[in-house]
Structure 1
Amino acid sequence: MKRTNFRWFMAVLIFLITFMSYMDRVNLSVATPTIMQEFGFTKVDMGFLQTAFFTGYAFMQIPGGMMAEYFGQRIASTLAVTWWSVFTVLTAWGNSFTSLAIIRALFGLGEGPIFPAMNNFIYRWFNKAEKATASSFMLSGAFVGPVFGPAVTVALMLAFGWRSVFIIFGAAGLVLALAWWFLAKNDPRQCPFVNKAEADHIESGMVLNNSKAAKEIAPWGSFITSTQFWAIGLQYFITDYIMYVFLAWLPLYLMEAQGFSLAKMGIAASFPWAALCLITFLTGYVSDKLIAAGVSKHKARTLFGASGLLISGAALYMAAIATTPTMNVFWLTISLGSLGFTFNASWAASMDIGGKFCGTVSGWMNFWGNIGGVVAPVATAWVATHYGWQAAISMTAFSAILGVVCWLAVKPDQVILKDQI
């Protein structure tokens, strides 16, 4: 029987969903100068609006992962995409700091479950030698959003005003939610587009214990006492902290500190995200090839993860002291791009050490990452306001050292629960 490859079609759909999730996030950053002017907001005000989103987003990470494991990722993912798309549309009706803060917090609650749920889907739908590549679809979709986001958002803003951006992208998200509901299944064998040969390939080397109840709760007692569990969470705090500084403040930074116009900023801001997307995808492909060739997961995951943070911090410092806008954008591109090594390694490692509870482990990891998202917008705004943009960027650069140290304690060859693979 010729093997179908429907799982890769689903990988493309995951790409589109995470692409939309980040388009919806980056739109507020690009619209920041216009919103500040219309409502009279300060940088700190906008930082709190970003933090409102990340507070809701971080709060739902662990519950989102557990929901995907208990109820199935199909329900968790569909509800998440529908919820955040509705509140994306409602952002257009925000007319004060309070209303925008509430809407963005509820928007964050909706986006919270999506990455843990998708990670759970990848664990169940892809062969063990394909998981990093599949993860790269999830992550690359997220990072392509900010590549096209600035230019597309600026074009829509200039043509129809900033509110139109949120209405259009919210409506597109509802279409994707409908597609996921009809196509995604918790078990690939339940999908009419997956034949037996593909299902057998997916499950090759996977331990499936069907004697246990389908609904299980992660063993938190074992997780919370694991050094790996804490290390993968804390390194992701640093990784996401750096990334969210870019997401929240890159457009305004390029305009205020580097003198870019709104139109030129839309182009310049896309380069770092394009590099991040490319390196994330290549890292997933190379990582899977290395593991298939017999290289240990420690080398394929841990060394990639630590090296990405090390390069990112060094390049970000070079961007802070760059003397021309061109060199500044060059080093910013190297800095954010190198995080692609770390992002892919993080999500692949969370599946390696989490096994069938990878939804909970990745939810825990992304919870800490988005605590970084809570802190980054306001902390960066405060430092930039009181000490200037160079100090804010330099502080972010040196934070990478802590992430490198944490990676040394992550051992993807060792599953937290020895009987779960």
Structure 2
Amino acid sequence: MKPTRIRWNLAILMFLISFIAYMDRVNLSVATPVIMKEFELTKIDMGLMQTAFFVGYSIMQVPGGIMAEYFGHRRITVLAVLWWSLFTALTAFGKGLPSFLVIRSLFGLGEGPIFPAFNNFVYKWFNKSEKAMGFSYVLGGAFIGPVFGPAVTVALMLAWGWQSVFVVFGLVGVVLAASWHFFAAETPRSSRFVNEAELQHIEEGMDVAAVEKKELAPWKAFMSSSQFWAIGIQYFITDYIMYVFLAWLPLYLMEAQKFSLAKMGIAAAFPWGLLCILTFATGYVSDKLVAKGLSKAKARTLFGSLGLMICCVALYLGAVATTPYMNVLWLTISLGSLGLTFSASWAACIDIGGKFSGSVSGWMNFWGNIGGIAAPTLTAWIATTYGWQAAILVTAASAVIGVIAWLAVKPDVQLTLRK
């Protein structure tokens, strides 16, 4: 019997959901100049709005992972997408800084569970040799969002005003939530679309009974593990750098590099495009290397640390670039190189977390989004006080901490199996 490929169809749907999630985030940064002018807001105010999202988002990381493991990724994904789509649409009706802060923090609460839930889905639905590539679809969707986000957002803003952006994407989210509810199942064994051949491939080497058993992660053991803390620290740095780009790249290109609104929409897409490409490539190559016998510790650590090292150097070169187009080139390389690190990070969560990959990824993403909380406001303060070049140089220097942390991750043995 020829195996069905439902898991890859669902991977595409994950890609689309993640794509819209990040479109919903980047829309605010692209609309920042217009919103600042209409409501007489400062850079610090806009940084606080970005930070409000990450407060809500971070709070729901660990609970989101636990809920996905206990109540099921399918149910949690549908609820999360519906929740954040509602508050995406409500962003259009903000009346000033206080209302924007409330709406964006509740929007963040909705998005919080989605990555841990998808990590739990990948663990259950993909063969042991496909897990890094499987989660690359989630990351790819996240990173392709900002490629199209600036251009699409600018087009909607020019046609119907900035409010239309948030209403349109809120409605798209509702459609995607309904699609996941219809097509996804908690396990491949319970799916009406998966045939026996695909099921056997997915479950090869998997303890099905253990996977399906509902139990809480052993948090006491996790908290005493240096690996557990290291994977959080490196992701704090990785996300901090990425969210500097997400929150401030459009305004930076317009203020520091003097791009017009239309040219900014194009230039801001290049870094995210390369990030998406390298994320998929890293997931594919990493799985192939592991399948050929390279240890997970070497494969994940190699890509994770290398991405941060390249990012550090390229950010520095971008900060000292003398022309706008050289600046965009180096910024593209710096953000793109993080594709190596992002893919390695989420694959390592599955490696060391096993059936508790939702909890481990929630922990990792919690720390990553503490970086998200810090990045918008801290970068705004540095840029306002010392200039944009100083803000980029500080971001570059932070990558060194991430490289050191990767050396302690060592994702070759699951946390629950360590003595």
Bin of the TM-score, shorter chain as denominator length: over 0.9
* Alpha-carbon offset, residue 213 of structure 1: 7.7
**SS in structure 2 opposite 1:399?**
helix
Give distance in 1, aligned partners of 2:204 and 2:170.
39
Structure 1 residue aligned with 2:276: 277
After the TM superposition, which of the residue ranges 196-205 and 50-59 deviates more from structure 2? Answer: 196-205
1:281 is aligned with what amino acid? F
Aligned letter for 1:221? K
**Structure-1 residue corresponding to 2:355:** 356
TM-score by length of 1: 0.98
Which deviations, in whole Å up to 9, do the C-alpha atoms of 1:345-381 show, x marking residues without a partner? Answer: 0000000000000000000000000000000000000
Q: Secondary structure at the match of 2:209?
A: coil
Which residue of 1 is the match for residue 372 of structure 2?
373
Aligned 8 A contact 1:26 1:146 in 2:
yes
Separation of aligned partners in 2, 1:274 and 1:302: 24
Query: Where in structure 2 are the equivalents of 1:9-408 lying within 5 Å?
Result: 9-210=9-210, 214-408=213-407
Q: Distance in 2 between matches of 1:254 and 1:96?
A: 25
Measured after TM superposition, the shift of residue 318 of structure 1 is 0.7
Structure 1 counterpart SS, 2:103:
helix
CA-to-partner distance for each residue in 1:385-413, whole Å, 9 max, x for gaps?
00000000000000000000000001111
SS in 1 for 2:378: helix
1:242-280 CA-partner distances (Å, limit 9, x unpaired):
000000000000000000000000000000000000000
**For structure 2, which runs of at least 5 residues remain unmatched after alignment?**
none
Given that 1:70 and 1:214 are in contact with CA atoms closer than 8 Å, whether structure 2 keeps it comes out as no
- Name the aligned partner's letter for residue 380 of structure 1: T
Amino acid in structure 2 at the alignment position of 1:41: L
SS of equivalent to 2:232: helix
Amino acid at match of 1:142: A
Q: Larger deviation: 402-411 or 184-193?
A: 184-193
Q: What is the DSSP-based 3-state SS (H/G/I as helix, E as strand, rest coil) of the residue aligned with 1:185?
A: coil
% of aligned pairs identical?
68
3-state DSSP of counterpart to 1:306: helix
Q: Distance in 1 between matches of 2:187 and 2:347?
A: 20
Q: 1:418 deviation in Å?
A: 1.3
1:4 correspondence with 2:8 = no
Q: Distance in 2 between matches of 1:113 and 1:141?
A: 16
Distance in 2, matches of 1:326 and 1:180, equals 41
Residue 209 of structure 1 and its aligned partner are, at CA, apart by 3.0
* Structure 1 unaligned blocks of 5 or more: none
Tell me the alpha carbon deviations over residues 309-364 of structure 1, each in whole angstroms, 9 at most, x when there is no partner. 01001100110111100100000000000000000000000000000000000000
In the alignment, the residues of structure 1 paired with residue 67 and residue 378 of structure 2 have an alpha-carbon distance, to the nearest angstrom, of 32
Deviation at 1:214, TM superposition (A): 3.1
In structure 1, the residue matched to 2:415 is: 416
CA drift of 1:153 comes to 0.3
Query: Aligned pair count?
Result: 419
Q: Whole-Å Cα distance in 2 between the matches of residues 298 and 314 of structure 1?
A: 24
TM-score (ref. length: structure 2): 0.99
Supply the distance in 1 between the matched residues of 2:329 and 2:287 (Cα, whole angstroms): 29
Distance 1:137 1:39 in 2: 37
What is the one-letter code of the residue matched to 1:264?
K
Judging changes above 3 Å, is the alpha-carbon distance between structure 1 residues 203 and 34 closer, same or farther for their aligned structure 2 residues? same
CA distance in 1 between partners of 2:2 and 2:324 (Å): 54
